[in-house]
Amino acid sequence: MTAILTSTRASGRLAGGLSRLNGGLVAVAVITLLAVLGPLVAPHTATEAAGVPFTPPGASALFGTDDVGHDVFSRVLYGLRLSWLSALAVVGVGMLIGLVAGVLAGLGPRWLDELLMRITDGFLAMPGALVAIAVVAAIGPSLEHTLIGVSVVWWPYYARIVRGEVRAIRSRPHVEAARLSGIGRLRVATHHVLPGTWSSLVVAASLDLGYVVLTLAGLSFLGLGAPPPAPELGAMATQGLSSILTAWWIPVFPGIGVAVLTFAANLSGDRLQAQSGRI
């Protein structure tokens, strides 16, 4: 009975901490909502010729038009959604792979731990940006291939974090109490070990979102993202570089969009990190 009570109290404290952590997730949810709903207020579609090419910013076109006549304001709104959802996809895939690898390494036998951590170290030793570029260049430039290339190099960080948390949590009293009460190993892992890794994993992922946005924009800037006329912020900035002296608004406003999205992502990550210190 004492073992069960100990496990229940520890789980209650963890649930209270996670509820405070969820308050910080509101910032991420708001950014996601704005990114998804932004195109709904766009005056034009991303590929629609909305006016005369190279129209400067004004009443008829808030951010001006590009060399084809696309409305830059509308394309930036669509680009914000594409960049943000792409960053969430990369981080989500990285978290999933890292979670599985970290749990197996933390709870599995020593040989499995050594094998998975050596693989992880191998990925961490390689320059992530160069590996992503190599992967995208090998399988061809497209948005899907860019996401695959970045995801390939993003999971090892989460695997390390989860593995360290699992090894620390598995020897805590509430986990030992759950084992002594006769609960199976799978239930102990899913109900008593995994919840303890959640806060650290979410904080790390939220801090990564801004960096992922920059990485994806950088690959698009190099021509390794979706081909034109896809509304990718990095690609839009690249396409406008040739006319920056005569039509500065074409590359500048997409660059500002990347900066705003990165700044908002970093703010949400900082808030989650601050709240995690009180868990």
**Residue type at 268 in one-letter notation:** S
CATH class of the domain defined by 2-38+81-276: mainly alpha
User: Domain extents for the chain?
Assistant: 2-38+81-276
What is the residue-level pLDDT of the chain in tens, covering all 279 positions?
444 434 444 444 444 444 445 545 666 677 778 777 878 888 888 888 888 999 999 888 899 999 889 999 999 999 988 988 899 999 999 999 999 999 889 888 899 999 999 999 998 888 878 888 888 888 888 888 889 989 988 999 999 999 998 888 887 887 777 777 777 777 777 777 888 788 788 888 888 888 999 999 988 888 888 787 888 888 898 888 888 888 999 999 999 989 888 888 888 777 777 766 544
Handedness of CA 228, 233, 236, 238 (dihedral sign): negative
- pTM of the full structure: 0.82
| Residues 6 or more apart whose Cβ sits within 8 Å of residue 24 | 206, 268, 271, 272, 274, 275, 276
Tokens 């109290």 locate to: 9
